[in-house]
Structure 1
């Protein structure tokens, strides 16, 4: 998944300029989960200001889950769930690769309920291609088609690709504080 990323900014005189036009630098094609691809497109930290400082926030050691008032923009391609059901699938190797490739998010995946996770974020998700099922902790699920949008409010959930084709989804995560 080579996502084109165009970033704008400001010149020394304050005029709008194109800062970069590249592919997303933190793309990862998973070796141990064939067809699973992730791309961290951008992120902001709490207290962001404009114009933003120079540099690419994705080149820093960002957690894929933002702190309260931070954001993350990512694109994820999910392979069919049958990939994880293959006799060749190695959950330990896949888990280790998750920890390296998607820090901060990988730690939230539940070992006893594969795919289930919870983040302290409001997530805006737009299915770009394919179909996915969003499963909640009570077992309910909704099938999503191309261009369907989900607003997720810190719920425990999993994404399931029950089809035979990959599905690509865009996520915008906004960090929030959970009421306890």
Structure 2
């Protein structure tokens, strides 16, 4: 998965310039889940500023889930569900690889319900290709296809690819506050 990232912003004099134009530095093609990949495009752990970051804002194995006010831009290619049902699938190896590359997201998973997770984020998604199903914690599902958008607000959910081909979704995750914690 090779994705170009162009970053524009203001230099020290206030002039708008291209700060970088290169391949996204942190992508991962999963070895133990054929067809699965992700590209970490941008990450602001807390509220972003208009000052360009002094260093790369993404990391290979760091947090993906932003704190309240923060954002993450990630592109995920989902393997077909059938890959996980293949005779040669090693669930422990796939889970370990996932936990290594996206540790905070892996920690949000429900061990009793594969793929189901809850995050304190508002997820804005655009299906770039293929089809993907959004499954809610109660079992309801909606099929999303290329060009469809989704807003998923901190609910218990999973992404399911019931097709025979990978599906690619671009997400912006916005760190949300819990209204109960602000009282």
**TM-score category (smaller protein):** over 0.9
Alignment of 1:96-115 (within 5 A): 96-115=96-115
Structure 1: which 5+ residue stretches go unaligned? none
SS at match of 2:179: coil
Q: Which stretches of structure 1, 4 residues or more, deviate above 3 A after TM superposition?
A: 59-62
* Residues 139 and 47 (structure 1), Cα distance of their counterparts in 2 relative to 1, 3 Å cut: closer
3-state SS of the aligned residue for 2:103?
coil
Task: Report the equivalent of 2:93.
Answer: 93
| Residue 170 of structure 1: aligned partner | 170
What does residue 150 of structure 1 align with? 150
When normalised by structure 1's length, the TM-score is 0.95
Structure 2: give runs of 5+ residues left out of the alignment: none
- C-alpha displacement of 1:61: 5.8
Coordinate RMSD, CA, aligned: 1.3
Match of 1:17 in 2: 17
2:61 and 2:102 in contact (8 A); partners too? no
- Is the aligned partner of 1:44 residue 2:10? no
Alpha-carbon contact 2:137-2:156 (below 8 Å) kept: yes
Q: CA deviation at 1:72?
A: 0.3
Tell me, in whole angstroms, the C-alpha distance in 1 between the residues paired with 2:161 and 2:47: 36
Cα distance, 1:59 vs structure 2? 3.4
Change (3 A) 1:77 1:9: same
How far, CA to CA, are the matches of 1:2 and 1:66 in structure 2?
24
Report the equivalent of 1:77. 77
Counterpart for residue 123 of structure 1: 123
> Residue 47 of structure 1: CA displacement?
3.6
Whole-angstrom CA distance in 1 between matches of 2:67 and 2:136: 23
- Normalised to the residue count of structure 2, the TM-score between the two structures is 0.94
